[in-house]
Structure 1
Amino acid sequence: MPPRRLPPRPEAANARGMTAYKSGDPTTLNRLYGRAKGKPLRAGQQDLIDTLLPQIAVPTEGPVTAPLLFGDAEGAERPLHFEIGFGGGEHMAGRADMLPDHGFIGAEPFINGVAQALVHVSGDHGRSPPLANVRIHHGDALEVLRRIPDGALSFAYLLHPDPWPKARHAKRRMMNDGPLDLIAAKLKPGGEFRFGTDHPVYLAHALMVMRRHRHQFEWLAQSAQDFLVRPGGWPETRYEAKARAQGHEVWYFRYRRI
């Protein structure tokens, strides 16, 4: 059971190292930023950054639409997915492989994560076909999300964001009223928001925040056990695997946009 003592309402947001700062309206996020680089990239990863990333990068200006990203005809109905902070790209690449007729957009500020995602997109060193339906933004997820037309997304994902468990850091969590209002605006009616965490404090906080947004999102759980079982079509991420290896429980949430 989640603890009853909940952190204070957040005033900013974080998705695995990305912190959102804002001014004025307390629910309006201005930007996300995070750690840019960790260990030195391997030669193969750097080559993908130099060659593949420019080919599949989200444009830095203008609306972000399926025709622009994938060359679809205007009015085409390709479902669009957006992942906020995709880590190493395991989930994004897995979903893209499952749904080749859908379009996937992922944003991640950490260059090492982007490099790992490019390995998956390129075909994992020849172990699988390259993925033609993925576009990547190295940087601010909110900057891209704002440029997606309202009602354009079929799916949005926030999987294992940094929990920021200390009360004084609660304002840095991504699960907050401002980001959820933005996600709700971009999802089409009937679209799905998926959220996953292995941290009990973040779990309690997320339940509290999502309850405030029940006018926008319908929780799709059918039983008390549903959020303990990874749904079908939900590829495991490295963060989820690490949590399980450490003996942590993992919780899964699916919400439908009303």
Structure 2
Amino acid sequence: MTTSNKHPNAPWRNFYGRIRGKTLKPAQEAYLNEDLEALSPGSVDWDVNPDRIPLDLEALFDGKPVWLEIGFGGGEHLVHQAATYPEIGIIGCEPFLNVVAMLLGKIRKAGVTNLRVHPGDVRNLFDVLPESSVEKVFLLYPDPWPKKRHHKRRFVTQEHLEPLARVMKPGAEFRVATDIPDYVRQALIEVPQAGFEWLAEGPEDWRKPWGDWLSTRYEQKALRQGRVPHYLTFRRLG
């Protein structure tokens, strides 16, 4: 367990995930050293922006609509979305440095230019995103924290959902994919309490993926192990 903020004026926020794993390959170290700073969305972390000055998204993405992916894993879905929709700007947020390096390699290969990367706690990003500024958000196969006593660590709690709702535009779409039935139950309870409605009229609405979906490595692992994906779509009220 670590805290995500070190600045003396920062709020205390426990962070329970991994920051770094096995030794990075030389190419991955090069991606981090050469590409990451240029792909930053701006001054996000408390040490560099203690006054929490909002990001200038208009300048960052030349006025394009802004999307957000929270915890992008291997980055394949994030790059796919950026390549499919060059008319939008998309921010990926992920604290695990090893997969950040993987993403940077994919960005180089794909040549997408409408993507920015925050390698840290999404709560710090929420602090500096302007209110009602994000038009679509993805939460795909988040850490399930399967033990009951750890459910409060899941993203689908009010600690995360309330600031998420604040930065999303009214009518904005929030997509959640998970293969954990109990995570589905918690999401269907907690997300509407934060000001969203679930857009489902029948079973096919959560059994079938979205039309522009790219199956991730985490989903493929779940399928191999016999788990069933669920695709939940919510709309921000307001």
Question: Taking structure 1 as the reference length, what is the TM-score of the superposition?
Answer: 0.80
Matched, 1:39 2:22: yes
Report the Cα distance in structure 2 between the residues aligned to 1:29 and 1:226, rounded to whole angstroms: 39
Partner of residue 248, structure 1: 227
Partner of residue 55, structure 2: 64
Q: Deviations over 1:199-251 (max 9, x none)?
A: 112112112213434xx212122312210111111222221111112111000
Matched, 1:93 2:76: no
2:38 to 55, 63, 80: 55
Q: Deviations over 1:58-80 (max 9, x none)?
A: 2223322323423x2xxx3x110
State the one-letter code of the partner of 1:199.
Answer: I
Partner of residue 14, structure 1: none
Contact 1:157 1:193 in 2 (8 A): yes
State the one-letter code of the partner of 1:243.
Answer: A
State the one-letter code of the partner of 1:56.
Answer: L
1:232 to 211, 225, 235: 211
Query: 1:161-176 residue pairs with structure 2 within 5 A?
Result: 161-176=142-157
Q: Which runs of 5+ in 1 are unaligned?
A: 1-16, 22-27
Report the Cα distance in structure 1 between the residues aligned to 2:115 and 2:4, rounded to whole angstroms: 25
Report the Cα distance in structure 1 between the residues aligned to 2:3 and 2:82, rounded to whole angstroms: 27
Bigger share in helix: 2
Partner of residue 107, structure 2: 121
> Using CA pairs below 8 Å that are at least 6 residues apart, which structure has the higher relative contact order?
1
Partner of residue 148, structure 1: 129
Larger displacement relative to structure 2 (39-48 or 102-111): 39-48
Query: 1:164-243 residue pairs with structure 2 within 5 A?
Result: 164-213=145-194, 216-243=195-222
Partner of residue 132, structure 1: 113
Q: Deviations over 1:6-43 (max 9, x none)?
A: xxxxxxxxxxx99989xxxxxx9846453121121112
Report the Cα distance in structure 1 between the residues aligned to 2:120 and 2:15, rounded to whole angstroms: 8
Q: Which runs of 5+ in 2 are unaligned?
A: 6-10, 44-48
Three-state SS of the structure 1 residue aligned to 2:159 is helix
Contact 1:153 1:188 in 2 (8 A): yes
Distance 1:210 1:19, change over 3 A: farther
Q: Deviations over 1:131-177 (max 9, x none)?
A: 10010011111101221101100011111111111111112111012
Larger displacement relative to structure 2 (218-227 or 246-255): 218-227
Question: Taking structure 2 as the reference length, what is the TM-score of the superposition?
Answer: 0.87
Partner of residue 91, structure 2: 105
Contact 1:19 1:173 in 2 (8 A): no
Aligned-residue CA RMSD in angstroms?
Answer: 2.2
Q: Deviations over 1:43-70 (max 9, x none)?
A: 2111111101111112223322323423
State the one-letter code of the partner of 1:197.
Answer: T
Contact 2:95 2:121 in 1 (8 A): yes
Three-state SS of the structure 2 residue aligned to 1:155 is strand
Distance 1:230 1:29, change over 3 A: farther
